[in-house]
Amino acid sequence: MSIWRWSDMMEPIPENARISLGEGDTPLIRSSSIGPAAGLKNLYFKLEHGNASGSYKDRFAFTAISHMVANGWKKCIATSSGNTGAALAAYCAAAGIECRIAIVDGAPLGKLKQMMAYGAKIARIRKFGTDPTATTQVLEKLERLGQRPDSAMQVSAFVYSPAGMSGVQTISFELAEQSPQPIYHLFCPAGGGGLCVAAARGFRQLVERGRISRSPAIECVQPEGNDTIAGPLRAGAKRAQDIDCTTKVSGLQVASVVDGHLAIEECRPTGGTGHLVTDEFVWEVQKRLAREEGVFTEPAGAVALAGALQAAKNGDVNKSAMIVCMVTGSGFKDDVAVDRINCDTDCPTLDADAIDEW
């Protein structure tokens, strides 16, 4: 089925401008090991690394670039810590649009190679993503470039690219179709907070149209070193906060608020709250996903599960409830993280007669 079946619930785009690389309809699978071990009877994973460029950001890119095609814009000006850039580069290639991307300082080399393979022109920007002042400066400069008649700035955030972000809401539409029972908690990783906002808005649309009776609690999970949203949300604050980012979880290094205020505004009415996890726990959960579930994800893709396991341990969720964790990106995107997983093993070279003893 085409993801465009939900076109009436997204930013309007003419049929002749719609770009698709087969995104969407990613699997929802039940945990076979980690959930039962934690006493979570109905723990599920939404496997977004099955999208065309390997992450959920394709849901942003297919709408954003289709919107550019509809308006005749030929130059995409973007920012990325990795996955957004790869997704935009892929869809720009499909649409014949020039793509230039300012990259967060410290983004994994694998993601940069993927962008360049699609033909994007990229550059790392010092302190971008870790220092709030530098991050704001970069965004302001790119916004000016994106205002040229032939160009558009695309950032995977509602405050910058609401048309593109309307496509991310399809996650909620799919989950409502796929889930065997009502979802009580949807755990989402957050950098800038756009995924949390999209999930909450998507489920709200479904409630308003009478397709479901209630929205799941949208749970915002962040690394402790990037506490722009989760801490304030849990503490009852109305606004997110700028921070000096210290997390090493690539893709979630967003020092400025971006969609943070919106995330708090959207998540709280659903009954969701914020969850902070350590980088070390994320590494551990990433390894467990690979070795106990067969799910190969990058560190950011393990953050939601880390939050769910912590919430279960702290008694923040009903262990019998239907819980879904977003697995947002492929493990192939971060070689350093894979090396960390494999630090306790290697691949020996053997003679044929040694196989029997191997």
**Nearest to residue 63, comparing CAs of 111, 3, 103?**
3
142-194 pLDDT per residue, tens:
889 889 999 999 999 999 999 999 999 999 999 999 999 999 999 999 999 99
User: Which strands make up the sheet holding 42-47, listed edge to edge?
Assistant: 28-30, 42-47, 322-327, 185-189, 217-223, 274-277
Q: Do 58-160 and 3-55+165-341 fall under one CATH topology?
A: yes
Q: What is the pLDDT of residue 127?
A: 86
Q: How many CB atoms are located within 10 Å of the residue 40 CB?
A: 23
Q: Which CATH number fits domain 3-55+165-341: 3.20.20.70, 2.40.50.140, 3.30.1180.10, 3.40.50.1100?
A: 3.40.50.1100
Q: Are 83 and 308 contacting, i.e. CB atoms less than 8 angstroms apart? A: no
Which one is predicted more confidently, 2 or 31? 31
With a CB cutoff of 8 Å and minimum separation 6, the contacts of 31 are 40, 43, 44, 45, 293
270-297 pLDDT per residue, tens:
999 999 999 999 999 999 999 999 999 9
- The residue-averaged pLDDT of 234-251 equals 93
Q: What is the mean pLDDT of the chain?
A: 94
Q: What is the pLDDT of residue 301?
A: 97
Burial class (CB in 10 A: 0-12, 13-18, 19+), 241: middle
pLDDT at 130 over 90: no
Query: pTM of the predicted model, to two decimals?
Result: 0.94
Of 67-71, 102-106, 208-212, which range is least confident?
Answer: 102-106
Residue spans per domain, the chain? 3-55+165-341, 58-160
pLDDT at 255 over 90: no
pLDDT at 129 over 80: no
The DSSP letter of residue 329 is B
Q: What is the pLDDT of residue 217?
A: 98
Q: What is the CATH number of domain 58-160?
A: 3.40.50.1100
Which one is predicted more confidently, 221 or 348? 221
24-57 pLDDT per residue, tens:
999 999 999 999 999 999 999 999 999 999 999 9
- The residue-averaged pLDDT of 59-65 equals 97
With a CB cutoff of 8 Å and minimum separation 6, the contacts of 133 are none
